[in-house]
Amino acid sequence: MKKWIVCVLALAMLGAALTACAKQEAPAQNSGDREQDAPAAQTQDGEEDEENYATGDASLDNPRNQDGIGDKELLVVSFGTSFNDNRRLTVGGIEGALEKAFPDWSVRRGFTSQIIIDHVRSRDGEVIDNVGEALDRAVKNGVKTLAVQPTHLMNGFEYTDLEKELASYADSFDRVVLGEPLLTSEDDFSRVADIIVEATREYDDGETAICFMGHGTEADSNAVYARMQQVLASRGRANYYIGTVEAEPSVQDVLAAVKAGSYKRVVLEPLMIVAGDHANNDMAGDEEDSWKSIFEGAGYEVVCLLRGLGELEPIQALFAEHAREAIDSLADTSKVADASQTAAAQDVGAEGMTPVPASELADGTYEAAVDCSSSMFKIERCELTVANGAITAGLTLGSDAYGYLFAGTAAEAAAADKSAYIEPEGRTFRLPVSALDAPVPCAAWSRNKELWYDRTLVFRSDSLPLTAFKTLKTAAGLGLADGTYTVEVTLGGGSGRASVQTPARLWIENGAATAEIVWSSANYDYMKVDGAQIDAEITDGYSTFVIPVAAFDRPLGVLADTTAMSQPHEIEYTLTFASATIAAS
């Protein structure tokens, strides 16, 4: 904080031009919600002091100030930091997560601190837009829909300033929406509390106080720190403490609370999006008034974690959710089917499914089974194409009732430009698939109702031939010698009422594996495995089958015919044999 004050006072002496620039930055006591990170101070004669520490390679950072934006822009607004590596890991990490979450939007960067922008440009030659420059760039590029997601911790002065600046550009775009800061709802507080506890779990040994340093503000929003302390306490985290640099609770308040316990060690970490000047100097610096020095002076072993919240993937995901909520609000809700217009959703997929990305599949074209959350969305045929590290599904529908599909939710479809809609080739739509065995959101446009309907699809890896997978764990590959073993087997699919005995008996002969599957009833008369029918041996009220095991640790699709109904009925199941549980018998 001392560096920032010196810098502002020095700039004030440089004349009217620089004074005008400095006025763009609110005084320190009025900007406590900002992730401040002042550059090196200037002397009275205008010469800049050299930084006595390295901040990383600026060339590794992406300033995201490119033109060629397109119709839709997602502008990520941050206070900023001049610490290059941390800027890349925190602000850049959040921006990267938003790019993955919104592949149809151009993600761009805007910083609110002109001091940081100027310092990074002077020191490293990296050009970062301020918010006005970023908005002007969007206007020049013809952006029609602008979503702005701040990386602020709270709704304070900085957020209010951003709202005002956006308002002055309201007539420049067709639609503008502003996302919420990190800590907005009660759910946000709960999730962030869980995230920081998980991130520091290795230090939570009963003898360590884990202390987070926030910035603090004179605004009412300073209450977020007390609220976070309450949430942590409600979770039984009595050894977690929240303090601030600029407001209450102070470092002395935190020290007093820690002294009331019986701790030997203190872990310090910033409760800020970035780990910039405050984290490196006010928290972890060697000056006598730093948090580190104060706690060491009180006799504690101190560990400093120079990690901003923005580095944590769950925090990045939470920002993406806030952006999603903002973008969804742009949707024309009159075009989205509500619950009363939608058939009851069906469960898709199975608990514990592991997503199968394109990288695990061999290039080729495969017939596949697909589960859908709606019984009204009839898929006659699904053909998966794997090529160039991507999966595309050719979905042939049972009718021409749908005019478009969209890779996303119905709300996103209603907010999207028509160029993003997937048009049919006859009755076949080609949909990108992020992974097999994972829910894929899909919106379908009804020609008759003129509404978008939400669908969730799961493309089943167990329906693919084993040749589709690049690597398989086979008996030969595992080096299993001929003999008799046991193995844990998990049954999936069906209604959930049936079960099989586990562990199952397993035989290895000449590198090939077979297993004895014993069902919980005698109502199964045959199974089909890889298209071959295997008849049951019915004994003692059980149906027993000896079937080939082509691979371990992957769901293997089978059909089992039950006679328990009025008519025999084939039911789809999966069997997964866990290689780690194989034991000689």
Could you give the CA distance from residue 349 to residue 331 in angstroms, rounded to a whole number? 28
Q: Is 341 exposed, middle or buried (0-12, 13-18, 19+ CB in 10 A)?
A: exposed
More confident residue, 34 or 232: 232
Q: What are φ and ψ of residue 518, in 5° steps?
A: -110, 115
Do the two domains 208-309 and 472-584 of this chain adopt the same fold? no
Average pLDDT over residues 35-56: 50
Greatest distance between any 2 Cα atoms in the chain: 97
Q: What is the pLDDT of residues 75-115, one digit of tens each?
A: 999 999 999 999 999 999 999 999 999 998 999 999 999 99
pLDDT of residue 49 exceeding 60: no
Active site residues per annotation = 215
Look at residue 32 in the predicted model and tell me its pLDDT: 41
- State both tokens at 274: 């970035």
33 in Cβ contact with 158 (< 8 Å): yes
154 in Cβ contact with 182 (< 8 Å): yes
Look at residue 37 in the predicted model and tell me its pLDDT: 53
* Residue showing tokens 């709606």: 374
Q: In what order do the strands lie in the sheet with 364-367?
A: 364-367, 379-387, 390-397, 428-433
pLDDT of residue 24 exceeding 50: no
* Residue showing tokens 């806030």: 322
CA R_g for the chain: 30
- For 299-389, list the strands marked E by DSSP: 301-304, 364-367, 370-372, 379-387
pLDDT grade, residue 8 (50/70/90)? Answer: very low
Could you give the CA distance from residue 266 to residue 520 in angstroms, rounded to a whole number? 55
Q: How does strand 175-178 pair with strand 145-150? A: parallel
Distances (CA, A) of 122 to 35, 40, 118, 119, 301: 21, 12, 6, 5, 39
Q: What is the pLDDT of residues 439-450, one digit of tens each?
A: 999 999 999 999
Look at residue 23 in the predicted model and tell me its pLDDT: 32
H helix or E strand, kind and range, residue 37? none
Give the angle subtended at the CA of 327 by the CAs of 33 and 175, to the nearest 5°: 95
- State both tokens at 502: 């586990």
More confident residue, 457 or 42: 457
292 in Cβ contact with 270 (< 8 Å): no
pLDDT of residue 349 exceeding 80: no
pLDDT of residue 180 exceeding 90: yes
Look at residue 535 in the predicted model and tell me its pLDDT: 96
Say which residues have a Cβ less than 8 Å from residue 557's Cβ, sequence separation at least 6.
369, 460, 462, 463, 572, 573, 574
Look at residue 204 in the predicted model and tell me its pLDDT: 92
Average pLDDT over residues 57-61: 94
429 in Cβ contact with 455 (< 8 Å): no
Q: What is the pLDDT of residues 105-141, one digit of tens each?
A: 999 999 999 999 999 999 999 999 999 999 999 999 9
506 in Cβ contact with 513 (< 8 Å): yes
Could you give the CA distance from residue 555 to residue 353 in angstroms, rounded to a whole number? 9
CATH of the domain spanning 472-584, picked from 2.60.40.1850, 3.40.50.1010, 3.10.129.10, 3.40.50.1860: 2.60.40.1850
pLDDT grade, residue 205 (50/70/90)? Answer: very high
Look at residue 341 in the predicted model and tell me its pLDDT: 80
Q: What is the average pLDDT value for the chain, to the nearest integer?
A: 88
How many residues are present in the chain?
Answer: 585
179 in Cβ contact with 108 (< 8 Å): no
Q: pTM value?
A: 0.62
pLDDT of residue 520 exceeding 60: yes
Report the C-alpha dihedral over residues 186, 192, 194, 199, rounded to 10 degrees. Answer: 180
Could you give the CA distance from residue 230 to residue 220 in angstroms, rounded to a whole number? 17
Look at residue 12 in the predicted model and tell me its pLDDT: 34
Domain ranges in the chain? 208-309, 345-467, 472-584
- At the second CATH level, the architecture of 345-467 is Sandwich (2.60)
Say which residues have a Cβ less than 8 Å from residue 512's Cβ, sequence separation at least 6.
475, 476, 548
- State both tokens at 286: 């060697």
Look at residue 218 in the predicted model and tell me its pLDDT: 83
Distances (CA, A) of 115 to 127, 155, 265: 13, 22, 37
H helix or E strand, kind and range, residue 173? none
50 in Cβ contact with 119 (< 8 Å): no
- State both tokens at 376: 């009204």
Could you give the CA distance from residue 423 to residue 403 in angstroms, rounded to a whole number? 7
HEC string for 548-566: EECCECCCEEEEEEECCCC
CATH of the domain spanning 208-309, picked from 3.40.920.10, 3.30.310.160, 3.40.50.1400, 3.50.50.60: 3.40.50.1400
Say which residues have a Cβ less than 8 Å from residue 194's Cβ, sequence separation at least 6.
235
H helix or E strand, kind and range, residue 404? strand 402-406
pLDDT grade, residue 334 (50/70/90)? Answer: confident
